Amino acid sequence: MQFDVAAFGELVIDLVPVASPQGLVFDAKPGGAPGNVAAGVARLGLAAAMLSKVGDEALGAAVLEALAACGVDTRAVVRARGEKTPLAVVSVAADGERDFTLYRENCADATYAPHEVSLDVVRAARVLHVGTLSLAASTSAAAHRAAMRCALDTGNRISADPNFRPAFWRDRDAMRHAGRELAAAAHILKVTEEELAFLTGITEIPAAVRSLSQSTLLVAAVTKGPAGAALFTEECRISVPGFTVRAVDTVGCGDAFMAAFLAGLLEAGSGEMGDSALETIGVRACAAGAIIAMSS
């Protein structure tokens, strides 16, 4: 089977606070940035697969069921006995901005090993989408790099979203190095404005993007929250305004942007892309993020 996108990385259960007369209550929602991107791509009508490892328990089953319900092929996800599906406790501020506390002790995805990666799925995907979290543990980092090498050797493209979680990394320099490793391999790169400044030490967006550019990078998206996004190719520089919405919860907005951005690029094909086509893709991606922000 052929796939448009195979997403590699963590699958998580997000515990999101909800209003309740009984006091503090958390709603368990399947998440993890790579899984969210795979689900978004599938919802947009493209073929998506997931490469990951979860616990052989109720939480692992729940996240796989949620992905399958969106149309994601989960056959390449490994189930591990005696290991856990990680949890992320989410706190949401009044303006919808969120923070995460990750619980990853003995988590399955940290032990995702190279021999467990379904390289046939990697080869069958037009794009391999990756983040940085799997680079934080030596075993999953080896699996991550094996998947990227396989994609590159096959002639497929790498999509990267660092999606930094500073609370998880003990060493910020290691986190920066992981982000720069992804940027160096990526054909498609998405970063927030804050992540871009962290990666490069440069606050001026075009200059920072230029500093990350290398021969393989085809397109970069720098997201700016409600202010929209800046999109870059070798020939184009597009500024896309955001949508004014009442933000209820921003969890998953960046992942929705990424999914719509990837879907748009894949549907546009491999030919040269002008300003108008790139702008249309960017507007749709910003709209996808805004829609998620309005939901809870």
Give the model's pLDDT for residue 169: 85
Give the model's pLDDT for residue 295: 72
Show pLDDT as tens, one digit a residue, over the chain (296 residues): 899 999 999 999 988 888 788 888 888 889 999 999 999 999 999 999 999 999 999 999 999 999 999 999 999 999 999 999 999 887 766 665 667 787 888 899 999 999 999 999 999 999 999 999 999 999 999 999 999 999 999 999 999 999 998 877 889 999 999 999 999 999 999 999 999 999 999 999 999 999 988 888 999 999 999 999 999 998 889 999 999 888 776 778 999 999 999 999 999 985 567 889 999 999 999 999 999 888 75
Taking the C-alpha atoms of residue 232 and residue 218, their distance in angstroms, rounded to an integer, is: 8
Give the model's pLDDT for residue 109: 95
Is residue 102 within 8 Å of residue 90, measured between CB atoms?
no
Give the model's pLDDT for residue 97: 63
Task: At 16, give phi and psi (nearest 5°).
Answer: -105, 130
Give the model's pLDDT for residue 96: 58
Strands (DSSP E) found in the chain? 3-8, 12-18, 25-31, 48-51, 53-55, 78-80, 87-92, 98-103, 125-130, 157-160, 188-192, 219-223, 229-232, 237-240
Report which residue type is found at 12: V
Tokens of 95: 């303006």
Taking the C-alpha atoms of residue 131 and residue 164, their distance in angstroms, rounded to an integer, is: 8
Q: Three-state DSSP class for 203? A: coil
Is residue 254 within 8 Å of residue 223, measured between CB atoms?
yes
Is residue 34 within 8 Å of residue 131, measured between CB atoms?
yes
Give the model's pLDDT for residue 81: 92
Task: At 78, give phi and psi (nearest 5°).
Answer: -85, 140
Contacts with 214 (C-beta within 8 Å, 6 or more apart), sequence order: 183, 184
